[in-house]
Structure 1
Amino acid sequence: MEDGTIPDSDITASSAWSDSTEAKHGSTGEGDGAWCPAGAVFPSGSEYLQIDLHKLHFLALVGTQGRHADGHGQEFARSYRLRYSRDGEKWITWKDRWGQDVVSGNENTYDIVLKDLGPPIVARMVRFYPLADRVMSVCLRVELYGCVWDDGLKAYTAPVGHVMQLPGMPVYLNDSTYDGSTEQGMQFGGLGQLCDGVLGGDDFIQTKELRVWPGYDYLGWSREALGQGSVDIEFHFERPRVFHNMQVHSNNRHTQGVRVFSKVECLFKPGILQPWSSPALTLPVPLEDLKDPSSRPISLPLGGQPAQILRCKFYFADRWLLISEISFLSGRKLLFFPLFLTFMTDNTASWTLSEFAAVTPRPGLPVAKDDSSNTAILIGCLVGIILLLLAVIAVILWRQYWKKILGKGSLSSDELRVHLSVPSDNVVINNTHSYSSRYQRIHTFPDDRDHDREGEGEYQEPSALVPHYAEADIVSLQGVSGNNTYAVPALASSSPGADAAPLPELPRQCLIFKEKLGEGQFGEVHLCEIENPQDLPTLEFPFNVRKGRPLLVAVKILRPDASKNARNDFLKEVKILSRLKDPNIIRLLGVCVSSDPLCMVTEYMECGDLNQYLSHRVLLDKTGPSHNTPTISYPALISMASQIASGMKFLSSLNFVHRDLATRNCLVGGERGENGEDRGGERHIKIADFGMSRNLYAGDYYRIQGRAVLPIRWMAWECILMGKFTTASDVWAFGVTLWEMLSICQEQPYCNLTDEQVIDNAGEFFRDQGRQVYLSRPAVCPQGLYELMLSCWNRDCKLRPTFAYIHSFLTEDAMNMV
Structure 2
Amino acid sequence: MFFRLLLFALVTEKFCAEVNPVMCRYPLGMHDGTIRDDDITASSQWYESTGPQYARLQREEGDGAWCPAGLLQPQDVQFLQIDLHRLFFITLIGTQGRHARATGKEFARAYRIDYSRNGERWLTWKDHQGKQVIQGNVDAYDIALKDLRPPIIARYVRVIPVTELPMTVCMRVELYGCIWADGLSSYNIPDGETIAAPGYPIVYLNDSTYDGFVEKRYLYGGLGQLTDGILGLDDFTQSHQYQVWPGYDYVGWRNESTGTGYIEMEFQFDQPRNFTTMKVHCNNMFSKGVKIFQRVECQFKPRLISEWEPESVGVDTVLDDKNPSARFVTIPLNQRVGKAILCHFIFADNWMMISEISFQSEMDMVNPTVITLPPTKAETTQMLPNHTTERETDTTSPFTISRPVEKIDESSTSILIGCLVAIILLLLLIIQLILWKQYIQKRLKKSPRRILEEDASAHLSFYSYSIANNQTQIIQSNPTYERVFPLDLEYQEPTMPPRKLPELSQSAEDSACSGDYAEPDLTQSTPHQGFQNNVPHYAETDIVNLQGVTGNNMYAVPALTIDSLNKKDITVAEFPRQQLQLKEKLGEGQFGEVHLCEAEGLQLFLELPSSDVSGPPALVAVKMLRSNVTKAARNDFLKEIKIMSRLADPNIIRLLGVCILDDPLCMITEYMENGDLNQFLSQREMHSQFTLANNIPSVSCKNLLHMSTQIASGMRYLASLNFVHRDLASRNCLVGNNFTIKIADFGMSRNLYSGDYYRIQGRAVLPIRWMAWESILLGKFTTASDVWAFGVTLWEMFTLCKEQPYSLLPDEQVIENTGEFFRNQGRQIYLPQPPPCPNPLFHLMLKCWNRDIKDRPNFESIHHFLVEQLNSSV
Per the shorter chain, which TM-score range? 0.5 to 0.7
Is residue 2:651 matched to residue 1:584?
yes
Contact 2:671 2:734 in 1 (8 A): yes
The equivalent of 2:510 in structure 1 is 413
Following superposition, the deviation at residue 663 of structure 1 comes to 1.5
Q: Give the gaps of 5 or more residues in structure 1.
A: 15-22, 34-47, 64-80, 86-90, 99-113, 130-140, 163-172, 203-207, 209-216, 249-260, 285-299, 332-342, 366-373, 404-408, 419-440, 458-465, 671-680
Following superposition, the deviation at residue 734 of structure 1 comes to 1.5
Contact 2:570 2:642 in 1 (8 A): no
Contact 1:714 1:733 in 2 (8 A): yes
The equivalent of 2:595 in structure 1 is 526
The equivalent of 1:311 in structure 2 is 345
Output the CA distance in 2 between the equivalents of 1:645 and 1:194: 42
Contact 1:157 1:235 in 2 (8 A): yes
Output the CA distance in 2 between the equivalents of 1:145 and 1:380: 18
- Pairing 1:115-134 to 2, within 5 Å after superposition: 126=155
- The one of the two structures with greater contact order (alpha-carbon pairs below 8 A, sep at least 6) is 2
The equivalent of 2:315 in structure 1 is 276
The equivalent of 2:429 in structure 1 is none
Indicate which of 585, 600, 606 corresponds to 1:516.
585
The equivalent of 1:663 in structure 2 is 730
The equivalent of 2:89 in structure 1 is 57
Following superposition, the deviation at residue 607 of structure 1 comes to 0.9
Output the CA distance in 2 between the equivalents of 1:761 and 1:147: 19
Indicate which of 780, 784, 793 corresponds to 1:724.
780
Indicate how the Cα distance of structure 1 residues 442 and 278 shifts in structure 2: closer, same or farther if over 3 A, else same. Answer: same
Indicate how the Cα distance of structure 1 residues 228 and 60 shifts in structure 2: closer, same or farther if over 3 A, else same. Answer: farther
Following superposition, the deviation at residue 577 of structure 1 comes to 2.7
Output the CA distance in 2 between the equivalents of 1:444 and 1:632: 43
Contact 1:146 1:356 in 2 (8 A): no
The equivalent of 2:416 in structure 1 is none
Letter in 1 for 2:315: W
Indicate how the Cα distance of structure 1 residues 118 and 161 shifts in structure 2: closer, same or farther if over 3 A, else same. Answer: farther
Output the CA distance in 1 between the equivalents of 2:150 and 2:542: 55
Letter in 2 for 1:730: D
The equivalent of 2:684 in structure 1 is 617
Following superposition, the deviation at residue 622 of structure 1 comes to 8.4
Letter in 1 for 2:314: P
Output the CA distance in 1 between the equivalents of 2:572 and 2:281: 50
Indicate how the Cα distance of structure 1 residues 229 and 586 shifts in structure 2: closer, same or farther if over 3 A, else same. Answer: closer
Indicate how the Cα distance of structure 1 residues 581 and 157 shifts in structure 2: closer, same or farther if over 3 A, else same. Answer: farther
Following superposition, the deviation at residue 600 of structure 1 comes to 2.7
Following superposition, the deviation at residue 609 of structure 1 comes to 0.7
Is residue 2:522 matched to residue 1:443?
yes
Secondary structure of the 1:658 match is coil
Is residue 2:845 matched to residue 1:789?
yes
Output the CA distance in 2 between the equivalents of 1:147 and 1:806: 42
The equivalent of 2:770 in structure 1 is 714
Following superposition, the deviation at residue 665 of structure 1 comes to 0.6
Over residues 451-508 of structure 1, what are the superposed CA-to-partner deviations in whole Å (9 max), with x where a residue is unaligned?
Answer: 999xxx9xxxxxxxx9x86443223333323543222222347858973623334443
Following superposition, the deviation at residue 605 of structure 1 comes to 1.0
Output the CA distance in 2 between the equivalents of 1:180 and 1:809: 57
Indicate which of 656, 669, 678 corresponds to 1:602.
669
The equivalent of 1:749 in structure 2 is 805
Following superposition, the deviation at residue 51 of structure 1 comes to 2.9
Secondary structure of the 1:443 match is coil
Secondary structure of the 2:719 match is helix
Is residue 2:696 matched to residue 1:696?
no
The equivalent of 2:716 in structure 1 is 649
Output the CA distance in 2 between the equivalents of 1:174 and 1:814: 50
The equivalent of 1:628 in structure 2 is 695
Indicate how the Cα distance of structure 1 residues 569 and 180 shifts in structure 2: closer, same or farther if over 3 A, else same. Answer: farther
Indicate how the Cα distance of structure 1 residues 504 and 271 shifts in structure 2: closer, same or farther if over 3 A, else same. Answer: farther
Output the CA distance in 1 between the equivalents of 2:85 and 2:789: 40
Secondary structure of the 1:747 match is coil
Secondary structure of the 2:550 match is coil
Over residues 706-736 of structure 1, what are the superposed CA-to-partner deviations in whole Å (9 max), with x where a residue is unaligned?
Answer: 8533223322222232221101111121222
Query: Which range moves more in the overlay, 521-530 or 693-702?
Result: 693-702
Over residues 115-150 of structure 1, what are the superposed CA-to-partner deviations in whole Å (9 max), with x where a residue is unaligned?
Answer: x99999865x94799xxxxxxxxxxx9975545669
Output the CA distance in 2 between the equivalents of 1:813 and 1:220: 44
Contact 1:145 1:356 in 2 (8 A): no
Output the CA distance in 2 between the equivalents of 1:227 and 1:476: 60
Q: Give the gaps of 5 or more residues in structure 2.
A: 1-25, 40-52, 64-81, 96-113, 127-143, 159-171, 194-204, 238-242, 244-248, 270-274, 300-311, 333-342, 361-374, 398-464, 483-496
Output the CA distance in 2 between the equivalents of 1:346 and 1:382: 18
Letter in 2 for 1:605: M
Letter in 1 for 2:693: S
Secondary structure of the 1:614 match is helix
Output the CA distance in 2 between the equivalents of 1:225 and 1:789: 48
Following superposition, the deviation at residue 615 of structure 1 comes to 2.7
Following superposition, the deviation at residue 688 of structure 1 comes to 0.5
Root mean square deviation, CA, Å:
6.8
Following superposition, the deviation at residue 584 of structure 1 comes to 1.6
Over residues 275-310 of structure 1, what are the superposed CA-to-partner deviations in whole Å (9 max), with x where a residue is unaligned?
Answer: 3233556899xxxxxxxxxxxxxxx84335334789
Contact 1:590 1:602 in 2 (8 A): yes
Indicate which of 768, 777, 789 corresponds to 1:733.
789
Output the CA distance in 1 between the equivalents of 2:377 and 2:564: 41
The equivalent of 1:340 in structure 2 is none
Aligned residues: 643
Indicate which of 261, 266, 269 corresponds to 2:293.
266
Contact 2:748 2:754 in 1 (8 A): yes
Output the CA distance in 2 between the equivalents of 1:738 and 1:782: 12
Letter in 1 for 2:822: F
Indicate how the Cα distance of structure 1 residues 189 and 774 shifts in structure 2: closer, same or farther if over 3 A, else same. Answer: same
Letter in 1 for 2:85: I
The equivalent of 1:168 in structure 2 is none
